[in-house]
Amino acid sequence: MLTNSLDPQTKSATSLPPHDAKARVRQFMQQLQDQITQGLADLDGVESFQEDRWERPEGGGGRSRILREGAVFEQAGVNFSEVWGSHLPPSILVQRPEAEGHSFYATGTSMVLHPRNPYVPTVHINYRYFEAGPVWWFGGGADLTPYYPFAEDAKHFHNTFKQACDAHHPEYYPVFKRWCDEYFYLKHRDETRGIGGLFFDYQHGEGQLYRGPHPDNAAAMYSDSLDRIAPRSWEELFAFVKDCGNAFLPAYIPIVQRRNEIEYGDRQRNFQLYRRGRYVEFNLVYDRGTIFGLQTNGRTESILMSLPPLVRWEYGYQPQPNSPEAELYEIFLKPQDWINWTPSHTEAK
Amino acid sequence: MLTNSLDPQTKSATSLPPHDAKARVRQFMQQLQDQITQGLADLDGVESFQEDRWERPEGGGGRSRILREGAVFEQAGVNFSEVWGSHLPPSILVQRPEAEGHSFYATGTSMVLHPRNPYVPTVHINYRYFEAGPVWWFGGGADLTPYYPFAEDAKHFHNTFKQACDAHHPEYYPVFKRWCDEYFYLKHRDETRGIGGLFFDYQHGEGQLYRGPHPDNAAAMYSDSLDRIAPRSWEELFAFVKDCGNAFLPAYIPIVQRRNEIEYGDRQRNFQLYRRGRYVEFNLVYDRGTIFGLQTNGRTESILMSLPPLVRWEYGYQPQPNSPEAELYEIFLKPQDWINWTPSHTEAK
């Protein structure tokens, strides 16, 4: 699919993927799914994952794994997929016009966890790789969605991914952290989905980290154009994505261990179910992974495995002033510098 | 906003609205909200509606009424709104390019009812009126979403709206019934939302009932082009919309009265909560009223009042063969000729 006949002025040799790129990324994505499902099943201790293997009529398939009604997780879904077809859907072509008229290949792993205890945050990761005609790219990220506010957890989550980033490029964490805040943003609520983490897309070694806000997100919070950085090779980017993927369990497990034994009642459960509604709103209205899946005739049950098992909507809900629920809205659902967070930093707001 | 300087060859005099068009439609939409909330509160017998009046910073406002935790209705939301602004959002301009560059006015009433008893269907209505530069139009409809299959209910609902249609034009019911089946269709599930009813949009008297499937709905079930009909006046269309609006209570109340006393258990409740997930999926992924509201900076709490108070998602759910739940999928979530429905007609499928 990718050849050396590309214009040498715009495509350096380092930007070409190796001949076994697809096989290597696929293997990593499957191994990441294995590593995570093993780690989560060990953590849960009661339930294990069930797997469905599926094929996509237009090409490719996947394996969907779900753990339900566990001790820690009310639902945990971890998907691997590898798909190909004659053309990418419009939602991607608008961002990657070079792929127009070309067939495509895509592989990735995605995960959403819905814990039972409202003090344990929901979390999402997704890593993906695309090839389409003359272009290839990596995308992905990880973001944490707490129901109750613990700055310590936000700081730990961000610190873990910052370390994975810093091993590769000093600009990765600051840029991808901001991109995450911008991407996981519910415009109609004027809220971030949670405390963020990392998000990146269209990383293809051509010396540009960020292309500006997605057209869907008209109220993007960050509009600065970012400087171009030195070209990065396919190998460098793949190594970065692998380190991000491997950072997930160390980023999340300590948070579960700290919060899973906290007692809770109806108030906390009801707030959790209510806040899960925002997850549904984000995934169905804004999320590009969901839209890509539904537009490419993906497996609906696997795509919508991200939706919570039980959800509430409540007209006109407002948190009580000075409550933990109010603190979530006031501090945790707005972009924050979690790495440098201190209690006085929060109080000063 | 509308003048007589329009090209007389394409705009007949009968197509112009009267000078007091906005005031008359607004008054009807408010009266419809009053009539329906009164009828539903009487039916519920326990809870009444609470009203929130709101203003939209860009122009206009509305009154949102909600009844919660009633005897019949777990949640009933009935909205009236009247909004204006400098330009329509892209989702409408793609269908009404004549409105490009013009300010707009829109008023309407919409309603979604989520009953408590799973044997009582969810129902939605929406009627709306737009003016934008040289164009004006009416849109609207009513559709029923049962959880358990009762052909008698489907037939009654369709018959009631057919009578309202037939008093105005013999083509209205067949065309708007088909349009409803096409519009309330979840492509990613290959299911209709329910048993349909009526749906119409862009009714502006210019002799065309139907413009073909909405671009969002690539798998539209009906693609025939419909013949143009004789021009209709603004007065004729307004009278039609009024009769449709007034048909709602007679279409729905007898169904509630027939089903509300049927006993149910966890199985029926769980299936109801699961099926409510489809309502969420439709409204957030496909519904043009929801998208219009969110795109025009509408009042989010009012727009999303359509979402159910409690919802389940369940990975890989399949109804048991030969169960009422399976009959819902096999018969009621596909377009049917409910007017001419007989038991043998169903069995023959």
Q: How crowded is residue A45: how many other Cβ atoms within 10 Å of its Cβ?
A: 10
pLDDT at A288: 79
Measured CA to CA, the distance from residue A285 to residue A280 in angstroms comes to 8
Measured CA to CA, the distance from residue A241 to residue A129 in angstroms comes to 10
Residues of chain A positioned with their CB less than 8 A from the CB of B300? 188-189
φ, ψ of residue A79 to 5 degrees: the values are: -110, 140
State the helix-helix crossing angle for B172-183 and B151-166, rounded to 10 degrees: 130
Q: Which residues of chain A have pLDDT under 50?
A: 1-14, 215-227, 347-349
Q: Angle at the Cα of A192 (from A313 to A145), degrees rounded to 5?
A: 75
Residue of chain A with shortest Cα separation from B218: A295
pLDDT at A209: 72
**Residue B211 pLDDT class (50, 70, 90 cuts):** low
The answer to whether the beta carbons of residues B320 and B94 sit under 8 Å apart is no
Mean pLDDT over B276-287 rounds to 94
B301–A315 CB contact, under 8 Å: yes
pLDDT at B98: 87
A312–B309 CB contact, under 8 Å: yes
Task: Read off the pLDDT of residues B6-17 as tens digits, 9 standing for 90 and up.
Answer: 443 444 444 789
pLDDT at B329: 98
Phi-psi region of B109 (alpha: psi -120 to 50; beta: other; left: phi over 0): beta
- Residue bearing tokens 């952290």: A177
pLDDT at A92: 83
Across the interface, which of A64, A285, A313 has its CB nearest the CB of B308?
Answer: A313
Residues of chain A positioned with their CB less than 8 A from the CB of B313? 304, 307-309, 311
Mutate to test the interface with A, among B282, B307, B312, B317 (most CBs of A within 10 A): B307
Residue A342 C-alpha from the chain's centroid:
26
CA distance A175 to chain B (A): 28
Residue of chain B with shortest Cα separation from A270: B310
Look at residue B43 and tell me whether its pLDDT is greater than 50: yes
ipTM of the complex: 0.90
A312–B311 CB contact, under 8 Å: yes
**Residues of B belonging to the active site:** 124
Measured CA to CA, the distance from residue B332 to residue B336 in angstroms comes to 7
pLDDT at A211: 61
Residue of chain B with shortest Cα separation from A313: B309
- Residue from B21, B11, B17, B22 nearest B207 by CA: B11
Task: Read off the pLDDT of residues B152-186 as tens digits, 9 standing for 90 and up.
Answer: 999 999 999 999 999 999 989 999 999 999 999 99
- Residue bearing tokens 């003090």: A119
B301–A316 CB contact, under 8 Å: yes
- Residue bearing tokens 């909405």: B214
Higher pLDDT, B10 or B75: B75
A311–B311 CB contact, under 8 Å: yes
Query: pTM for this one?
Result: 0.91
Q: What b/e readout covers B273-309, taking b as 16+ CB neighbours within 10 angstroms? A: bbbbbbbbbbbbbbbbbbbbbbbbbbbbbbbbbbbbb
Residue of chain B with shortest Cα separation from A291: B285
The answer to whether the beta carbons of residues A153 and A144 sit under 8 Å apart is yes
B294–A75 CB contact, under 8 Å: no
Most confident of A287-296, B244-253, B298-307: B244-253
- Residue bearing tokens 């429905």: B341
A300–B52 CB contact, under 8 Å: no
CA distance A305 to chain B (A): 6
Higher pLDDT, B251 or B225: B251
- Residue from B242, B210, B194 nearest B338 by CA: B194
Q: Which member of A19, A87, A102, A124 is catalytic?
A: A124
What CATH number is given for B19-347 in this structure? 3.40.1500.10
Residues of chain B positioned with their CB less than 8 A from the CB of A309? 312-314
CA distance A316 to chain B (A): 6
A307–B277 CB contact, under 8 Å: yes
pLDDT at B294: 81
Pairing, β B196-203 against β B191-192: unpaired
Residue boundaries of the structural domains of chain A: 13-347
Measured CA to CA, the distance from residue B208 to residue B215 in angstroms comes to 18
Mutate to test the interface with B, among A52, A185, A302, A311 (most CBs of B within 10 A): A311
Mean pLDDT over B245-263 rounds to 98
- Residue from B306, B69, B66, B215 nearest A281 by CA: B306
Residues of chain A positioned with their CB less than 8 A from the CB of B64? 315
- Residue from A313, A339, A296 nearest A58 by CA: A296
Measured CA to CA, the distance from residue B178 to residue B176 in angstroms comes to 5
Measured CA to CA, the distance from residue A274 to residue A132 in angstroms comes to 40
Measured CA to CA, the distance from residue B258 to residue B253 in angstroms comes to 9
CA distance A322 to chain B (A): 23
Task: Read off the pLDDT of residues B81-120 as tens digits, 9 standing for 90 and up.
Answer: 999 999 888 878 887 888 899 999 999 999 999 999 999 9
Provide CB contacts within 8 A for A347, sequence distance 6+. none
Across the interface, which of B285, B309, B312 has its CB nearest the CB of A313?
Answer: B309
- Residue from A306, A310, A302 nearest A51 by CA: A302
pLDDT at A83: 94
Tokens of A333: 């659902």
- Residue bearing tokens 């169960």: B323
A301–B315 CB contact, under 8 Å: yes
The CATH number of domain A13-347, selected from 3.40.1500.10, 3.40.1190.20, 3.40.50.2300, 1.10.10.10: 3.40.1500.10
Residue of chain A with shortest Cα separation from B66: A315
**Residue B2 pLDDT class (50, 70, 90 cuts):** very low
Amino acid in position A208: Q
Measured CA to CA, the distance from residue B235 to residue A235 in angstroms comes to 69
Look at residue B256 and tell me whether its pLDDT is greater than 90: yes
Residues of chain B by 3-state class (helix, strand, coil), percent to 5: 40, 20, 40
Residues of chain A positioned with their CB less than 8 A from the CB of B301? 315-316
The answer to whether the beta carbons of residues A311 and A280 sit under 8 Å apart is yes
A304–B313 CB contact, under 8 Å: yes
SS3 B70: coil
Cα four-point dihedral sign B31, B39, B183, B271: positive
Q: Give the A:B interface size as CB pairs under 8 Å.
A: 71
What share of chain B has pLDDT > 90, as a percent? 74
Measured CA to CA, the distance from residue A199 to residue A126 in angstroms comes to 9
Residues of chain A positioned with their CB less than 8 A from the CB of B294? 187-188, 285
